[in-house]
A and B are shown apart, each in its own frame.
Chain A
Amino acid sequence: AQKITQTQPGMFVQEKEAVTLDCTYDTSDQSYGLFWYKQPSSGEMIFLIYQGSYDEQNATEGRYSLNFQKARKSANLVISASQLGDSAMYFCAMREGGTGANSKLTFGKGITLSVRP
């Protein structure tokens, strides 16, 4: 089974509107971390937001928030007030276990977001 699932083929949003990018995960670990990265057309991978499995509140970073639903094993990224510069590929990733030596990430296949003016 895939550990990270991103099934939306491509998303479109009107500028200034909010958009939700879906991510579901699969793990039997109690301690894990969830990450979102942005990859614009220029190619770099930009870290956006992190949620730890024990964090009681949803993570927020500026216009980004993570809708963490532990029982449903989902970690959706919400982008508020979309901007043209938000057009990019978005990757969800998971780190299983704690932040010790075994800190590799498993990435989903990504979702393409296009912001319309």
Chain B
Amino acid sequence: DAGVIQSPRHEVTEMGQEVTLRCKPISGHNSLFWYRQTMMRGLELLIYFNNNVPIDDSGMPEDRFSAKMPNASFSTLKIQPSEPRDSAVYFCASSFYGTQYFGPGTRLLVL
């Protein structure tokens, strides 16, 4: 069975550019989570969806960040404009009323 799929795996961009991260959850899962991991702040929950509806976006750092889940098999996290402090590993995870399974992450570097 395919796990959570994230793309791209690595992204290098310049400050001010738009960045779009993509996630395909495990088929049949009804919750999707976006996390950010940095050395300083650890693993932070940014936003999560249940049945494609955003439930809690209190972790989204500011208006530059937005997330969508247009259907059960796809979600995006967008940063516009990007800043160097957004450099981190971004994880997507999905679950079905229980354990969260993580994707491989997207390593973002904003120069």
Contacts and interface: CB of A to CB of B under 8 A. Distances in A.
Interface in A85-109: 91, 99-107, 109
Interface of chain B: mostly helix, strand, loop or mixed: strand
A84 interface: no
Interface bin, chain A: 20 to 34
Interface bin, chain B: 20 to 34
Contacts of A33: 98
Nearest to B97: A99
A44 B99 CA distance: 16
B104 A44 contact: yes
Interface in B18-44: 31, 33, 42-43
Contact of B105 (A35, A37, A44, A100): A44
Interface of A: 33, 35, 37, 43-47, 50, 91, 99-107, 109-110
Interface of B: 31, 33, 42-43, 45, 48, 50, 55-56, 89, 91, 93, 95, 97-102, 104-105, 107
